[in-house]
C-alpha cells in the first residue's frame, strides 16, 4: 500500500477487526458491546509530517515504510486534509528554486483545521538567517495570494522563527454548539477532527446526568474540559505543557466559559497534592476541598495511568477514561475493576488503515 492509494474498500473489514479485538481485550471486565464511531474514509488527518528528499534539481515529500524502511515518494496523501494536499505541491514549488529556502531543508510539518487555516513548519539542518526570513516572508505572501490562510515557521537546532504566529484556531460544532480551539504548532492536538467531534459528543452524552464538579487530568488545550463544562457546576483541569495551558486559557475566554479552572502541573504531582503528600505553590489560592468532584476524566498518554494515579482515580464515583492504547487501559482496569464496573464502551476509529485504536470507557462505582 502506498500513501496515494488507501484501500478504502477495506475500511469496513479493518474496522470490524478492531471491534473484535477490542471486545476480546475488554471481555475480562464484563464490558458492554462497544459503541462504534467511524472515521471519514479520506481527508481525516488535520496534521502530517513529511521528510523532504533532494534529488538533483528536484525535491519531494517522502515517508518511510515502518516495516521495510523503504523510502516512499508522496505526491498526494488522501489521509490528510484537503488543505494539506493543496499545500504540499505549493510548498515545493515555492521552495524548489530558492536556495535560501531549499538548502538543508529536511522536513515539512503541516497543521490544518476544518476552519481552513494552516501552520507549515520548515525544518533545517543549518542555521537560519535574515536571508531565509526574507524569502520565507515572500513565500508566505505568495501562498496567501493563492488563497491559502497560512502561517510559516522555520525551525533549526535551538531556533524557531515565527513570521507572524505559531497557532491557528479551529472551530467545531459540538452537540449544536460552536467551540473555538486554539492549536499551537508542535503541541498535541487531536489529529482527526471529525472523530474528535464524535468523541466530544460521546463524552457529553456519557456525562449528561452528572452532578457536582468535574476533575480532569491531562487536559491539553482544554479540548474535553470546555466541551464538558456545560454538564458540570465547575471543572478543575490539569496540564503540564506550558503552550497547551496557554492555549487552554485562551480557549476559555474565546468560548466565554466561566466555570473552568486550569492548573499547570503534572498529573502525578496533582495526585500528591490531593493525597496531602506535598504542598505546591501553583495551587495557592485554589481551594481543592471546595470542589465536589463526583466525576473524573482522564485522557493519559500511551503509557496509561501510573499506579498512584490509578488509586487516586478510584476514589471517584464515576470515571471517564479516553485511551489511545487499549493495552495499557486494560492494565489500569485490572485495578479499577475492583471498585468500578464498565458501564459504557466506545471505539473511536481515530487512525483508519492502521492497527491503532482509540477507545473510551465510563466506569461507575460498584
Positions at the binding site for S-adenosyl-L-methionine: 190, 218, 223, 239, 299
Confirm whether 324 is a catalytic residue: yes
Measure the N-to-C terminal CA separation of the chain; round to a whole number of Å: 47
- Give a three-class secondary structure readout of 191-246: CEHHHHHHHHHHHHHHCCCCCCEEEEECCCCCHHHHHHHHHCCCEEEEECCHHHHH
User: C-alpha grid cell for residue 277?
Assistant: 503528600
Active-site residue identified among 170, 219, 358, 359: 358
Active-site residue identified among 324, 330, 334, 359: 324
Q: Write out the binding residues.
A: 190, 218, 223, 239, 299
Instruction: Please name which of 192, 243, 233, 210 lies closest in space to residue 45, comparing C-alpha atoms.
Output: 192
Long-range contacts of 249-255, Cβ-Cβ distance < 8 Å, separation of 24 or more: 250/182, 251/180, 251/181, 251/182, 251/221, 251/222, 251/226, 252/222, 252/226, 254/169, 254/180, 254/182, 255/179, 255/180, 255/226
Instruction: Please name which of 242, 243, 246, 197 lies closest in space to residue 224, comparing C-alpha atoms.
Output: 197
Dist. CA 62–CA 136, nearest whole Å: 22
Pairing relation of β-strands 318-323 and 35-37? unpaired
Instruction: Please name which of 94, 101, 123 lies closest in space to residue 110, comparing C-alpha atoms.
Output: 123
- Cα dist from 105 to 28, 54, 218, whole Å: 50, 9, 34
User: What are the residue numbers of the active site?
Assistant: 324, 358
Amino acid at each position: 500500500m502506498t500513501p496515494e492509494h488507501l484501500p478504502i474498500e477495506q475500511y469496513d473489514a479493518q474496522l470490524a477487526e478492531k471491534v473484535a479485538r477490542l471486545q476480546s481485550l475488554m471481555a475480562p471486565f464484563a464490558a458492554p458491546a462497544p459503541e462504534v464511531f467511524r472515521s471519514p474514509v479520506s481527508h481525516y488527518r488535520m496534521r502530517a509530517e513529511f521528510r523532504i528528499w533532494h534529488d538533483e534539481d528536484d525535491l519531494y515529500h517522502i515517508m518511510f515504510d515502518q516495516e521495510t524502511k523503504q523510502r516512499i515518494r508522496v505526491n498526494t496523501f488522501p489521509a490528510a486534509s484537503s488543505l494539506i494536499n493543496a499545500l504540499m505541491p505549493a510548498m515545493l514549488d515555492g521552495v524548489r528554486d530558492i536556495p535560501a529556502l531549499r538548502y538543508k531543508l529536511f522536513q515539512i510539518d503541516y497543521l490544518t483545521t476544518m476552519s481552513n487555516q494552516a501552520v507549515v513548519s520548515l525544518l533545517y539542518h543549518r542555521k537560519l538567517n535574515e536571508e531565509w526570513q526574507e524569502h520565507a516572508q515572500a513565500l508566505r505572501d505568495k501562498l496567501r495570494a493563492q488563497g491559502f490562510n497560512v502561517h510559516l515557521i522555520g525551525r533549526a537546532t535551538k531556533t524557531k522563527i515565527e513570521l507572524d504566529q505559531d497557532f491557528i484556531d479551529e472551530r467545531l460544532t459540538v452537540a449544536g454548539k460552536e467551540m473555538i480551539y486554539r492549536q499551537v504548532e508542535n503541541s498535541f492536538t487531536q489529529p482527526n477532527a471529525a472523530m474528535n467531534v464524535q468523541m466530544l459528543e460521546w463524552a457529553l452524552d456519557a456525562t449528561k446526568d452528572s452532578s457536582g464538579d468535574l476533575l480532569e487530568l491531562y487536559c491539553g488545550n482544554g479540548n474535553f474540559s470546555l466541551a464538558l463544562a456545560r454538564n458540570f457546576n465547575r471543572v478543575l483541569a490539569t496540564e503540564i505543557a506550558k503552550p497547551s495551558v496557554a492555549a487552554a486559557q485562551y480557549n476559555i475566554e474565546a468560548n466565554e466559559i466561566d466555570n473552568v479552572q486550569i492548573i499547570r502541573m503534572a498529573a502525578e504531582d496533582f495526585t500528591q497534592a490531593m493525597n496531602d503528600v506535598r504542598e505546591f505553590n501553583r495551587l495557592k489560592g485554589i481551594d481543592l476541598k471546595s470542589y465536589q468532584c463526583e466525576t473524573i476524566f482522564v485522557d493519559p498518554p500511551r503509557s496509561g495511568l501510573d499506579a498512584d494515579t490509578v488509586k487516586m482515580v478510584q476514589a471517584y464515583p464515576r470515571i471517564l477514561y479516553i485511551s489511545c492504547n487499549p493495552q495499557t487501559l486494560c492494565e489500569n482496569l485490572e485495578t479499577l475493576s475492583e471498585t468500578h464496573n464498565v458501564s459504557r464502551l466506545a471505539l473511536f476509529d481515530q487512525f483508519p488503515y492502521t492497527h491503532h485504536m482509540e477507545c473510551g470507557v465510563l466506569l461507575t462505582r460498584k
